[in-house]
Chain A
Amino acid sequence: MRGILHVDMDAFYASVEQLDHPEWRGRPVIVGGLGPRSVVSAASYEARRFGVHSAMPMTRARRLCPHAVFTGCSFGRYEEMSGHIREIFLSYTPLVEPLSLDEAFLDVTGSLKLFGPAPEIGRLIKQRIKSETGLTASVGVAPNKFLAKLASDLRKPDGFVVITEENKLDVLRGLPVSRLWGVGETTCAALDRMGIRKIGDLWGFPLDVLEKRLGSHAESLLRLASGEDDSPVIPDAAAKSMGAEVTFPTDLTDPKDVLDCLLELTEEVAGRLVRSGFRGKTVTLKIRFPDFTTLTRSATLPEPTNLTDEIWPRLKRLYEERLPKRVPVRLAGIQVSNLSSGPRQLSLFDPETDKRRGKLAEITEDIRRKYGKDAIRRGRLIKGRHGEETERDEGGGQS
């Protein structure tokens, strides 16, 4: 059985605005164009109580909730947060299908052995989103996409609903047919004429009768009504990379510290590659300076890899040879792209070492998963830590 998650950020744009403007928290916040003909892009839950919802004309929103905070969209910021959330997803599975900036399907079927049952992964993701971004998400866990999306919507905001093969019919029975995919106003009206209003009403309804009214659409409708859906989670092409980056609490002034941090990020990304069964062929280094100038440099490896020992020397060379010798550094990041899985070219020298190193990477990942990230570290990195993780673990000290 598959383990599918649907993660839906609660009032995403509005929540990001509230996060960035603490004084707006607890107040109705309406995000959208500020011109006379604009519509609402997002409304905080406080605003929704006044009947404001997205796609509503701004003028109407102003009438309904005149005391709200009205603000324009800061898409760059939403994308940044969305990217961070996607990184969280990708640390559990490469099979992430984003629907928009604030919504995605995850297929965690292949991750169950590593991270435990799907509901547990769902909880972990929900907690990590909260602790790492300060935002709340509603998570649905189910054996397929249809039920997962349904589940995430049932107890919004901050919801967490698990639908299983066992309870799915109980959940579906009383829901309006409009909750089925593909049931819009027309179909809804057609069903209504047949006396079908709730999903349960469709159960046992003869297919041929339904087909006469609805056409070929009928069969999939009946399948959805009984909670069946086998559509796959299709990761989008842009997600075909794995990366990690860190904005330092205080800018780094020693290139050695930057390198230490990059090595740590490399280990993190390599670990994620090992867990997901991918290997990458392209390595990209990203460095941002205090004036926000951002430089990226890429290099191609001879063969796709998921080993720190193969990614790191290339990344180090990019930093040392292809970037200006400039400090301080505000942000450092690494991305591995051009991902592939499957057959792998063997190497001529030390194939035994190859196998051992690969094994070591897997074992290291296992241990880290069980005992935490710091259970195994490279000699070079045992001294201090940088960046956001430092804040969390040691209170910001640099070595």
Chain B
Amino acid sequence: MKLTCQRKELNEALQILGTIVSPAGTRPLYSNVRLEATKEAVIVSATDLEVGAKLKIPVEKVGEEGVVLVPHSHFSAILRETTASDLEFTEENLVMDVRGGTSHFRILCEGVDEFEDVTGFGDGPAVEIDREALAEMIRLTAFAIAGEEGPFALRGVLLSISGKNIEMVGTDGRRLSRVKKKVNNPEDATMQGIVPRKTLDLLAKLPGDAGGALALRIEERQIAGATSKGELRGQLIEGQFPDYERVIPKSGKIKVDMPVAQFLSCVRQAALITTEEQPAMRLTIQPGKVLFEAESADVGSADIDMACDYQGEECSLLFNPKFLIDVLRAIAEEQVRFEVTDSENAVAMRAGHNFVHVLMPITEGAGSGR
């Protein structure tokens, strides 16, 4: 194999693949990236057998085609630390010479025979969505999914496509984010699947042309994505996603419009006083203002006011401030509408036309059991 490639682009590709490769020592074969030189491009791919990505970097000149496995850790470190703008790669008998400027490295490689390469995007009905729009949807939902300790089916975002609509829902059982957008669906395909966190992160990062589209297909057990510069394929989570429609409040009794940045700031301030053991912050909506209060036996107390345009009756709820911070950080709009029913039921937070976040409060019912 012999080729010359821009260091910067290859470096970026290797950074993305870094989230996929297995840490050294766990599955040695899959701590490598697959480096392939074809006539038109260099293709680097990595997989952990759950999700894999294949990225394409155009090159000036491929001297000699070939394919080899390169250890990701050293390969990416060399790309990061060297300074030359172009690097020349020559591989022979599983030893690769990397030359750039005054630097020269020799890296021991492995053959690709045992390596299960990432299957490409393939054929079949697919939809197209603007890359940035998809990244935004992921940003608005992925934070709400369950962690490793949560129920299996909730450890991913439910992605549904029907007609011109794409919808993503993430929930960990205490809060829920739903966002809807439009897609180009030439074959009017209907598809649905639960996409795990790592795959979502990769989808959001998949490189492509500015303003370009991403093709998406949900198959029976896998999701596939493709841009002009890369392809991705990952396993879906098999499980029963809960019936989420019914927990989204239709409309709250109390509605207040709040500026997101200021709301976030107030919550973060109150959160300084809450503790991990007792993460409860009180939010009180009064005529003309919203009051944020926190109290902790070990630390002290805080109360922060925020003016608002509200004239109805007073209401007061307890929240885990972390949950409010998560959603307020994700919202790009300047205003959020906060809708409350009562202190024991979910609040809805709406921003723009397409986004709603539902959050359960903390109940004060202290003491005996539940």
Query: What is A's interface to B at a CB cutoff of 8 Å?
Result: 273-274, 277, 299-303, 306-307, 314, 340-349, 351, 354-355, 357-359, 361-362
Closest chain A CB from B326 CB (angstroms): 14
Q: How far apart are the CA atoms of A343 and B275 in the complex, in Å?
A: 13
Which A residues lie within 8 Å of B318 (CB)? 343
Which A residues lie within 8 Å of B247 (CB)? 348-349
In the complex, chain B residues 162-210 whose Cβ is within 8 Å of any chain A Cβ: 171-176
Question: B363 within 8 Å of A by Cβ?
Answer: yes
**Are A355's CB and B370's CB within 8 A?**
yes
**Are A343's CB and B280's CB within 8 A?**
yes
**Are B174's CB and A306's CB within 8 A?**
no
Partner of B369, one of A301, A314, A340, A361: A361
Q: How large is the interface on B (under 10, 10 to 19, 20 to 34, 35 or more residues)?
A: 20 to 34
**Are B369's CB and A302's CB within 8 A?**
no
Of all chain B residues, the one with the shortest Cβ separation from A365 is: B369
**Are A348's CB and B364's CB within 8 A?**
no
**Are A358's CB and B320's CB within 8 A?**
no
Q: How far apart are the CA atoms of A301 and B370 in the complex, in Å?
A: 16
Closest chain B CB from A348 CB (angstroms): 5
**Are A348's CB and B366's CB within 8 A?**
no
Render B344-370 as a binary contact track against A, CB cut-off 8 A, 1 for contact.
Answer: 111000000000001011111111111
**Are A362's CB and B368's CB within 8 A?**
yes
Besides A345-B320, A345-B362, 6 more A-B contacts (Cβ < 8 Å) are A302-B172, A340-B278, A343-B362, A346-B361, A346-B362, A348-B360
Partner of B370, one of A300, A306, A340: A306
Render B130-170 as a binary contact track against A, CB cut-off 8 A, 1 for contact.
Answer: 00000000000000001101100000000000000000000
Of all chain B residues, the one with the shortest Cβ separation from A338 is: B277
Which B residues lie within 8 Å of A342 (CB)? 278, 366-367
Partner of B149, one of A302, A346, A354, A358: A302
Closest chain A CB from B368 CB (angstroms): 5
- A-B pairs with beta carbons under 8 Å apart, 14 shown: A299-B149, A301-B149, A302-B172, A302-B174, A314-B149, A343-B364, A343-B365, A345-B174, A345-B360, A346-B362, A347-B173, A348-B171, A358-B370, A362-B369
Which B residues lie within 8 Å of A306 (CB)? 369-370
Interface of B is mostly: loop
Q: How far apart are the CA atoms of A303 and B146 in the complex, in Å?
A: 11
Q: How far apart are the CA atoms of A342 and B365 in the complex, in Å?
A: 7
Q: How far apart are the CA atoms of A346 and B363 in the complex, in Å?
A: 6
Number of residue pairs spanning A and B whose beta carbons lie under 8 angstroms apart: 81
Given contacts A306-B369, A340-B278, contact A349 B173 (CB under 8 A): yes
Of all chain A residues, the one with the shortest Cβ separation from B278 is: A342
Of all chain B residues, the one with the shortest Cβ separation from A314 is: B149
Query: What is B's interface to A at a CB cutoff of 8 Å?
Result: 146-147, 149-150, 171-176, 242-243, 247, 277-278, 280, 318, 320, 344-346, 358, 360-370
Of all chain A residues, the one with the shortest Cβ separation from B246 is: A349
**Are A351's CB and B360's CB within 8 A?**
yes
Of all chain A residues, the one with the shortest Cβ separation from B365 is: A344
Of all chain A residues, the one with the shortest Cβ separation from B319 is: A345
Which A residues lie within 8 Å of B367 (CB)? 277, 341-342
**Are B368's CB and A348's CB within 8 A?**
no
Closest chain B CB from A284 CB (angstroms): 14
Given contacts A302-B149, A302-B150, contact A277 B174 (CB under 8 A): no
Closest chain B CB from A300 CB (angstroms): 5
Given contacts A302-B172, A357-B370, A362-B369, contact A348 B278 (CB under 8 A): no
Which B residues lie within 8 Å of A346 (CB)? 174, 344, 360-363
Q: How far apart are the CA atoms of A95 and B367 in the complex, in Å?
A: 14
**Are B360's CB and A343's CB within 8 A?**
no
Closest chain B CB from A184 CB (angstroms): 35
Which B residues lie within 8 Å of A344 (CB)? 362-363, 365, 370
Which B residues lie within 8 Å of A341 (CB)? 366-367
Residue among A349, A359, A362 with most chain B CB within 10 A: A349
Which B residues lie within 8 Å of A345 (CB)? 174, 320, 360, 362
**Are A343's CB and B370's CB within 8 A?**
no
Of all chain B residues, the one with the shortest Cβ separation from A271 is: B369
Q: How far apart are the CA atoms of A172 and B297 in the complex, in Å?
A: 38
